[in-house]
């Protein structure tokens, strides 16, 4: 049996729907959803194979999000202090629910 949070929750009787991944890079979304690889994308085939296999199994969905709304950027990119503050408030509000 594969060990994952999804399987653990299932064992407790909690059904989990699709996991939605919000991505601001349209090229990355296309690579993850399209099974055709070219010479230019062959070097990243392994990285996207995992994501693609879960898309095919209907476990995850990748949706586009505008870069200004991508809260994950607070952890991954150098962003303006105004945007950092807005994302921090969004995260805090989400934790309070």
Is 46's pLDDT higher than 90? Answer: no
How many Å apart are CA 7 and CA 3, to the nearest integer? 7
Mean pLDDT of 9-23: 90
Instruction: Give the residue extent of every domain in the chain.
Output: 1-65, 67-97
Is 36's pLDDT higher than 50? Answer: yes
Instruction: Kindly indicate the confidence band of residue 23, based on its pLDDT and cuts at 50, 70 and 90.
Output: very high
How many Å apart are CA 21 and CA 64, to the nearest integer? 9
Instruction: Kindly indicate the confidence band of residue 17, based on its pLDDT and cuts at 50, 70 and 90.
Output: confident
Mean pLDDT of 61-75: 91
């Amino acid at each position: 049996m594969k060990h994952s949070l999804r399987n653990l929750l299932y064992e407790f009787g909690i059904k989990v729907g699709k996991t939605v991944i919000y991505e601001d890079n349209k090229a990355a979304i296309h690579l993850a959803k399209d099974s055709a690889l070219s010479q230019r994308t062959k070097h990243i085939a392994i990285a996207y194979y995992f994501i693609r296999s879960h898309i095919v199994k209907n476990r995850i969905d990748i949706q586009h999000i505008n870069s200004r709304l991508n809260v994950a950027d607070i952890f991954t990119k150098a962003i303006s202090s105004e945007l950092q503050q807005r994302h921090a408030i969004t995260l805090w509000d989400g934790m309070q629910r």
